[in-house]
Structure 1
Amino acid sequence: MADSQLFEETFTIETVDSQKYDRVSRVIGESTDGQTTFWLDINHELFPLIEKDSVQMVLASTLNLDGTKDEKGWRELSRMDSTLADMYDYVCHGKVYRFEEGSGENIKVYISFGGLLLYIDGPYKKLTPLRIDYVYMLLKK
């Protein structure tokens, strides 16, 4: 895992709830090792998920492949620039807005992607790198 990749895990989707909003589903997944769970609001028109899907999630501080800080905004990148986003199907930029202590060695991390929320509950050692202000979330099946 490069320095820019703060968290990487493969999850199995357990629940998909699409009843509350037209284009948004709340999905719940558990990591393959059973130590980490997440709740995620996702635009299901752009990235449809169903129960039992396997999803790889990466949370990164930058999209630059060499791990350097973003000097340009993601919208300013030319089509010729290769980024971490090229390897994933669904990419969001968001703000880490809360940490909470969980049970035992677990902590809880809350991230907002323009109103679509991500909540991760897992081991302190895995999630402590997320103690930064902004992250990119990258997903692929």
Structure 2
Amino acid sequence: MADSTNDAVLYEEPFVITAKDHKKYDRAARLTAISHDNLTKLELDINTELLPISPDDNIEVCVASTLSLDGSADEERGWRDVAKGGIQTLADGYDYVCHGKVYKFEDGKAAKTLKVYASFGGLLMALEGPDAKLTPLRVDSVYLCIKT
């Protein structure tokens, strides 16, 4: 789970991929996944050239407000420049990292659940689960980090 020294991590959880729809685009697929505790559902568009993944694969999903390990904002530099200069970042521990915006929150299908929507350059994510886990995602700008 989240490293206690990194206040930037808003959400972190392991998932198992349950389905992969690769019909619409050559290099993008929509993944469906369920958390290991079966409480959170993930639908995520990914670039399959950057992260080749299949049903039944396990992934670790992290959503963070910054890539800086100390939790400091990336405002003084562009997000793509965070790792330049030999400074270790949160991204170093992941296979797939992208930057995006949380654009919508709504009540989930079950009581005390939320559904969070984010866009990463047109690749969309919908995360539905317990409101206690997803409430920290009420921010504008986020980083999605995935490791296999």
Identify the TM-score tier after normalising by the shorter chain. over 0.9
Which residue does the alignment assign to 1:33? 37
| Residue of 73, 84, 88 corresponding to 1:82 | 88
Which structure 2 residues correspond to residues 52-91 of structure 1 after superposition, within 5 A? Answer: 52-70=56-74, 71-77=76-82, 78-91=84-97
Gaps of 5+ in 2: none
SS at structure 1 position matched to 2:10 = strand
Which residue does the alignment assign to 1:98? 104
Q: Aligned partners of 1:75, 1:101: CA distance in 2, in Å? A: 33
SS at structure 2 position matched to 1:14 = strand
Which structure 2 residues correspond to residues 35-54 of structure 1 after superposition, within 5 A? Answer: 35-54=39-58
Q: What amino acid sits opposite 1:126 in the alignment? A: K
Q: Per-residue displacement from partner, 1:54-88 (whole Å, max 9, x unpaired)?
A: 00000000000111111311222314121110110
Q: Aligned partners of 2:12, 2:89: CA distance in 1, in Å? A: 17
Q: How many residues align?
A: 141
CA RMSD of aligned residues (A): 0.9
Q: Per-residue displacement from partner, 1:86-124 (whole Å, max 9, x unpaired)?
A: 110000100000000112011100000010000000000
SS at structure 2 position matched to 1:20 = coil
Give the TM-score normalised by the residue count of structure 1: 0.97
Gaps of 5+ in 1: none
Which structure 2 residues correspond to residues 109-124 of structure 1 after superposition, within 5 A? Answer: 109-124=116-131
Q: Give the stretch that moved more between structures: 65-74 or 119-128.
A: 65-74
Which residue does the alignment assign to 2:12? 8
Question: In the alignment, is residue 135 of structure 1 matched against residue 142 of structure 2?
Answer: yes
Q: Give the stretch that moved more between structures: 65-74 or 7-16.
A: 65-74
SS at structure 1 position matched to 2:53 = coil
Q: What amino acid sits opposite 1:123 in the alignment? A: P
Q: Aligned partners of 1:88, 1:79: CA distance in 2, in Å? A: 19
